[in-house]
Structure 1
Amino acid sequence: MDAAFAQQYDLIRGARAALLRYCATLSPAHFVAPVAGFNHSSIRDLLVHVAECYQAWLGEVGLGRPLARRPPEQAPDVAAVRALFAAVDALVAEFRQKFAGQWLTTQRFASPRHPAPLLLSPLQLFTHVITHEFHHKGQCLSMSRQLGYVPVDTDVIRT
């Protein structure tokens, strides 16, 4: 299962890279522009939120690290967002190493947002963050369409 985990995350990284390549084609002003239909969040804001979700669930809950929240303005462009995801990649590697061979083992995980420990498997934590990423990836593409762009294929299997 450890090899499958690594292969799956490589597929996710490929889809993310396609999205970030596309984001680099947007005007810098549109990348950070609030979109009314999305609670006045920007594409950049959602991408920073996705990176923070990995940090919260895998880092804070899974690995017991304190969460250092950063305002989206600290990632002013696609290059800065790529750097956030490089840190996410390192975090995922550490999470994978810690839980190797234990993916399906239910454990107690402390979360500052929940009064009692959560009974979860590491696979549940990982699945949560990747599905969350893909949900917001779709929103980013919809936002770009509202800003006048034609989104590209950013699926895991791109045609």
Structure 2
Amino acid sequence: MHTTLLHQYRLVLSSRETLFDYCEGISRQHFCQQVPQFNNESMCSMMAHAAATYLNWLVNFAQREKIPYFESNDCRDIRATRAMFNQINIVVNDFLDRFKDALDVPLTLPKREGVELTLTPLDLFMHVITHEFHHKGQLVNMSRQLGYIPVDTDVIRS
């Protein structure tokens, strides 16, 4: 299963790279502009949130290591955003390597104020990638509202 998940993440990387290439054509001003229809979030803040979610679940939760989350300032332009996600790629590869023989072993860990969650590493991996894709759709929609014509960022593209 480890090999399958690595392959799946390569598909995520391909889709993400298509999004990043598209974002190269978005002005820095628009990239960081708050969009009222998205609770005044910006494309930049949405990407920082997606990256922080990887850190929250794969490092802080699953591995009980505390590392700081990304902030909107960490992705002030697409070059910085790529660098931020390069760090996420290392996190994902380390996570998959660490749990490759225990992907279905439940982890029961405290989340906050007496709440415990029981999730498997596979649950966590699926959550972070589907979370990223959810926000990727919002990013494309945000760019459309800012006057851009989005490209196809699906895993299977024509």
TM-score > 0.5, shorter chain as reference: yes
- The residue that corresponds to 2:157 in the other structure is 158
- The residue that corresponds to 1:119 in the other structure is 118
What is the number of equivalent residue pairs in this alignment? Answer: 158
Which ranges in structure 1 are unaligned for 5 or more consecutive residues?
none
Q: Shift of the alpha carbon at 1:53?
A: 0.2
- Find the residue that maps to 1:21 and give its secondary structure: helix
TM-score, structure 2 length as denominator?
Answer: 0.95
For residues 133 and 84 of structure 2, the distance between their equivalents in structure 1, rounded to whole angstroms, comes to 17
Q: Shift of the alpha carbon at 1:91?
A: 0.3
- The residue that corresponds to 1:39 in the other structure is 39
Q: Shift of the alpha carbon at 1:49?
A: 0.4
Q: Shift of the alpha carbon at 1:42?
A: 0.5
Which ranges in structure 2 are unaligned for 5 or more consecutive residues?
none
- CA deviation vs aligned residue, 1:15-62 (integer Å, no higher than 9, x gap): 011111111110111110100100111101100100000000001001
Preserved contact between residue 49 and residue 71 of structure 2 (Cα < 8 Å): no
* Shift in CA distance, 108/141, structure 1 to aligned 2, threshold 3 Å: same
- Find the residue that maps to 1:63 and give its secondary structure: coil
Residue pairs, 1:62-81, within 5 angstroms = 62-81=62-81
Preserved contact between residue 56 and residue 69 of structure 2 (Cα < 8 Å): no
Judge which range, 94-103 or 137-146, deviates more: 94-103
Q: Shift of the alpha carbon at 1:114?
A: 5.3
Judge which range, 95-104 or 113-122, deviates more: 113-122
Paired amino acid for 2:43: I
Residue pairs, 1:1-159, within 5 angstroms = 1-111=1-111, 113=112, 115-159=114-158
For residues 7 and 110 of structure 2, the distance between their equivalents in structure 1, rounded to whole angstroms, comes to 28
For residues 20 and 148 of structure 2, the distance between their equivalents in structure 1, rounded to whole angstroms, comes to 14
